[in-house]
Amino acid sequence: AYEDVKRILGDASRLESLSGLAGWDELVIMPSGEGAAKARGAALATLAGVIHEMKTSEALGKALGDAECHGAKDVANLRLARDAYAKATRVPNEMVRRMAEVHSRGYQDWVKARAASDFSMFAPVLKESLELTKARCALVAPGKDAFDAALDDYERGMTKARLNEIFPAVRDAIAPLIRRVYEKNTPPALVGVKNPLEGEFDVDLQAKMSKEIAIKLGFDMSKGRLDVSVHPFTGGCGPNDVRMTTRYKANDLAEGLTGTIHETGHSLYEQGRCEEFIGQPVSEAHSMGVHESQSLLWERMVALSKPFSHFLLRELQATFPAEFDGVSADTLYAAMNTVKNPSTIRVESDELTYPLHIFLRTELELGLMDGSIAIDDLPAKWNEKMKAYLGVDITDDAKGVLQDVHWSSGALPGYFPTYTLGSMYAVQIYNTA
DSSP state of 340: P
Whole-number Å distance between alpha carbons of 172 and 183:
18
- Helices and strands: H and E segment counts in the chain: 16, 3
Question: What pLDDT shows up at residue 58?
Answer: 98
Question: pTM of the prediction?
Answer: 0.95
Whole-number Å distance between alpha carbons of 104 and 409:
7
Inter-residue contact 61 to 32 (CB < 8 Å): no
Largest CA distance in the chain: 72
- Over range 288-307, report the average pLDDT: 97
Other C-beta atoms lying within 10 Å of the C-beta of residue 36: 14
Sheet containing strand 241-246, strands side by side? 224-228, 241-246, 234-238
- Over range 159-179, report the average pLDDT: 95
Instruction: Assess whether pLDDT exceeds 90 at residue 84.
Output: yes
Looking at 16, 128, 263, 292, which residue is catalytic? 263
Give, in order, the Cα–Cα distances in Å from 118 to each of 47, 112, 122, 398, 401: 31, 9, 8, 7, 10
Per-residue pLDDT tens for 132-148? 999 999 999 999 999 99
Whole-number Å distance between alpha carbons of 311 and 289:
28
* Residue 70, Cβ density class (10 Å: 0-12 exposed, 13-18 middle, ≥19 buried): exposed
| Dihedral (CA of 331, 332, 334, 339) sign | positive
Q: Residue 36: CB partners within 8 Å, gap ≥ 6?
A: 30
Q: Is 275 a catalytic residue?
A: no
β-strand 241-246 against 224-228: which pairing, if any? parallel
Residue of 188, 226, 194 whose CA lies nearest to 210: 226
Angle, alpha carbons 131-142-168 (nearest 5°): 75
Question: What pLDDT shows up at residue 232?
Answer: 95
Instruction: Assess whether pLDDT exceeds 90 at residue 357.
Output: yes
Question: What pLDDT shows up at residue 189?
Answer: 83
Question: What pLDDT shows up at residue 120?
Answer: 98
Question: What pLDDT shows up at residue 184?
Answer: 87
Mean pLDDT of the chain: 96
Inter-residue contact 347 to 176 (CB < 8 Å): no
- Over range 73-84, report the average pLDDT: 98
Instruction: Assess whether pLDDT exceeds 80 at residue 181.
Output: yes
In this prediction, residue 186 has a pLDDT band, given cuts at 50, 70 and 90, of confident
The identity of residue 374, as a single letter, is A
Question: What pLDDT shows up at residue 138?
Answer: 97
- Over range 123-129, report the average pLDDT: 98
b (16+ CB within 10 A) / e for 290-328: bbbbbbbbbbbbbbbbeebbebbbebbbebbeebbeebe
Instruction: Assess whether pLDDT exceeds 80 at residue 65.
Output: yes
Question: What pLDDT shows up at residue 187?
Answer: 81
Question: What pLDDT shows up at residue 185?
Answer: 75
DSSP string, 64-76: HHH----SHHHHH
Question: What pLDDT shows up at residue 188?
Answer: 81
Alpha-helical regions (H) of 184-305: 203-216, 253-271, 288-296
Per-residue pLDDT tens for 372-383? 999 999 999 999
Q: Which helix (H) or strand (E) holds 228?
A: strand 224-228
- Over range 157-182, report the average pLDDT: 94
Total residues found in the chain within this entry: 433
Question: What pLDDT shows up at residue 176?
Answer: 92
Per-residue pLDDT tens for 194-252? 999 999 999 999 999 999 999 999 999 999 999 999 999 999 999 999 999 999 999 99
Whole-number Å distance between alpha carbons of 394 and 374:
19
Per-residue pLDDT tens for 104-122? 999 999 999 999 999 999 9
Question: What pLDDT shows up at residue 230?
Answer: 93
The identity of residue 55, as a single letter, is K
Question: What pLDDT shows up at residue 421?
Answer: 98
Per-residue pLDDT tens for 373-426? 999 999 999 999 999 999 999 999 999 999 999 999 999 999 999 999 999 999
- Over range 273-291, report the average pLDDT: 95
